[in-house]
A and B are shown apart, each in its own frame.
Chain A
Amino acid sequence: MKAITVKVKPEPKKPASRFWPTFLQQKYLYMMALPFVLWAFVFNYLPLWGWTMAFQKYKPGKSFFEQKWVGLQYFRELFHDEQFFNALRNTLAMSLMGLLAGFIIPIVFAVLLNELRLMFLKRFVQTVSYLPHFVSWVVAAGIITKMLSTDNGAVNDLLMSLHLISEPIQFMAKGNLFWGIVTASDVWKETGWNTIIYLAAISGIGPELYEAARVDGASRLQQVRNITLPGIRTTVIILLIMSIGHLISIGFEKQFLLGNNLVRDYSQTLDLYALNYGLGLGRFSFGTAINIFNSVVSVILLFVANGIFKKITKESII
């Protein structure tokens, strides 16, 4: 073993001139990496070039140089469209609600799970809680619609039998309920899954801390407050920053699948807006302007959030 380590010890560097010999030596590494780099370039970076469409009167079939440049026309159109502000409001509202609920509830659930003393029960509950994460939103939306339906939906049945309501609520037809339904659906689907990271963080806390607290006579609740929660603080902050970064671009699958024409004023997000008014009507340039707006705001949010947290906590992900 010793002889081997001596052999690969790096030689003193002679910059630039070493490039081609090393390149040849590492040709297999290059062969394994570069095709996929090219791939990523085509499917991840090339679409960015497509952003130029937003500044052109894009006509399919024409080459890039034949397109007519129109400057900021489509952005002006965008900012004069009432639907745009509607979509922006819905996106921000649902994202914020999703962020808040999807952030707090998994932490609470992880703490609860951690307090279960029966191991087999803990395992069982965990396995069950992951289940919804693995089904598609199509299935989830179908199930949720069924549960909320007016004829024999479980939620209405429950509320009726508890005499909380006198007649079934038409959940899926009420716009003002839509944001809440989307948020609750997301919580139902992803809480168990999002708990994994917090549980791992909790299991990293030294048991001697709990032991010491118990000797000092701390109650279970006090242990949670003073040991468990501070112990996962770093994880919580990093995940919070990451989810803020995705705040505005949080998908539209749920809204697409759960929404319908009756609740459109509350269900249309920026991405759906781009789909319906950009792609659906063939207005590619206009739709791209929406996409760009979406991306720019999301990047700004990421940096702002990261900056704030860096100041407060000295933690950073960028």
Chain B
Amino acid sequence: MLSKKLAAASWSDRIFDLVVYAAITVVTIATLYPFLNVLAISFNDSTDSIKGGITVYPRVFTVKNYETIFAYSGLMTGLKISVLRTIIGTILGLVSASMLAFTLSRVDFQARRFVSTFLALTMYVSGGLIPVYILIKNLDMMGTFGVYVLPGLVSAFNVFVIRSFIDGLPYALQESAKLDGANDFTIYWRVILPLTKPALATIALFLAVGQWNAWFDTYLYNGSKEGLTTLQFELMKVIQSTTTNADNFRGRNMTEVMAQISPESVKMAITIVVTVPILVVYPFLQRYFVKGMTLGSVKS
């Protein structure tokens, strides 16, 4: 009570509060406005949009822009591939990270030091763009779906986040399972995995976002492979083709044609389609990833 009175009495504290709220308001608007603006334009009649002046709500409401983009088959293929790589990539990434994390959490595992060091080094060592490109080429993975999933399968950061979570579980659980005759794999599958759900949810979000947002691997390896391009890549082509002169793109097909005829509103509609899946998911997982981020940073 006393402290509250003191705080309220101080004049400088009121100015301080004012500055805090003003700054927070500016930041919030600066973050949110661009998204609302894009959303509004995407729902606005495209010829009307050219006149400008649209802020956070559409002036002449229409869903025609969305009809236009969904009429292109390239977009649907992109959507399919993006969804597929997100699902498969997330599941495989979760399996690999959690298995490795489990073995590393076992103090009695005799290869623990080796595996741990071997993985940790991958966070600092990388061959670089061209050696990786040559490797993928030599492995005959160009133009395959595999390049979306396999090269980035094992991520040391994810492993360490999950491991520090497992470290927090009582070891007695594993011991009693062992007494019941469970082998190490069964312990992982039946005991550890169900208890690790919060950490897994965090990592699943990281993996899914990473997969959904990736475009560079498509550009590098699958850009000219019709039927394997992703949504982000298609969006990239449409957006880039108006800022540059559509010079150095590998794909030819519909996106370029579309870029020439696509007005601002259609571009914004694609942007929204690419963004919405993540928009829907992340607020619900916020509790988990905040925890996961802090855990991961402390450990690594």
Contact = CB atoms under 8 A, between A and B. Distances in A.
Nearest to B220: A279
A288 interface: yes
Interface in B258-277: 264, 267-268, 271, 274-275
B297 A197 contact: yes
Given A29-B103, A197-B293, A50 B271 contact: no
Query: Which range contains the number of A residues in contact with the other chain?
Result: 35 or more
Given A48-B125, A139-B275, A291-B130, A219 B111 contact: no
B145 interface: no
Contact of B125 (A44, A144, A219): A44
Interface in B151-171: 151-154, 156
Nearest to B209: A134
B254 interface: no
B185 A152 contact: no
Q: Chain A interface secondary structure, helix, strand, loop or mixed?
A: helix
B275 A44 contact: no
20 contacts: A1-B172, A26-B109, A26-B184, A32-B184, A33-B109, A34-B111, A50-B127, A125-B28, A134-B213, A138-B215, A146-B264, A192-B31, A196-B293, A197-B294, A214-B3, A260-B243, A279-B129, A279-B130, A291-B130, A295-B126
A167 interface: no
Most chain A CB within a 10 A radius of its CB, from B179, B209, B214, B215: B215
B244 A261 contact: yes
B99 A129 contact: no
Nearest to B107: A10
Interface string B115-133: 1001100101111111111
B60 interface: no
A43 interface: yes
A39 B243 contact: no
Interface residues of B, number: 100
Contacts of A144: 34
A23 interface: yes
Interface stretch (A78-86, A89-97, A112-120): A112-120
B131 A33 contact: no
B125 A36 contact: no
Interface of B: 2-3, 6-7, 10, 12-13, 16-17, 20-21, 23-24, 27-28, 30-35, 37-38, 52-54, 96, 99-100, 102-104, 106, 108-111, 115, 118-119, 122, 124-135, 137, 150-154, 156, 172, 175-176, 179, 183-185, 188, 209, 212-216, 220, 232, 235-236, 239-240, 243-245, 247-248, 264, 267-268, 271, 274-275, 278-279, 282-283, 286, 290, 293-294, 297
Contacts of A49: 127, 131
Interface of A: 1, 4-5, 8, 19, 22-23, 26, 28-34, 36-37, 39-51, 53, 60, 109, 112-113, 115-116, 121, 124-132, 134-139, 141-147, 151-152, 154, 172, 188, 191-192, 196-197, 200, 211, 214-215, 217, 219-221, 235, 239, 245, 249, 253, 256-257, 260-261, 271, 274-275, 278-280, 284, 287-288, 290-292, 294-295, 299, 302
Listed from nearest, the 8 A-B pairs whose CB atoms lie closest are A47-B127, A291-B128, A50-B131, A152-B52, A136-B213, A28-B184, A47-B131, A287-B130
Contacts of B290: 196, 200
A220 B12 CA distance: 8
A287 B90 CA distance: 32
Given A48-B125, A146-B38, A278-B129, A257 B23 contact: no
A32 B125 contact: no
B2 to A, nearest CB: 7
A56 to B, nearest CB: 12
Contacts of B52: 151-152
Contact of A19 (B110, B172, B179, B209): B110
A47 B126 contact: yes
B131 A129 contact: no
Given A33-B99, A219-B12, A44 B3 contact: no
A129 B27 contact: yes
Contacts of B216: 253, 256
Contact of B275 (A135, A137, A145, A200): A135
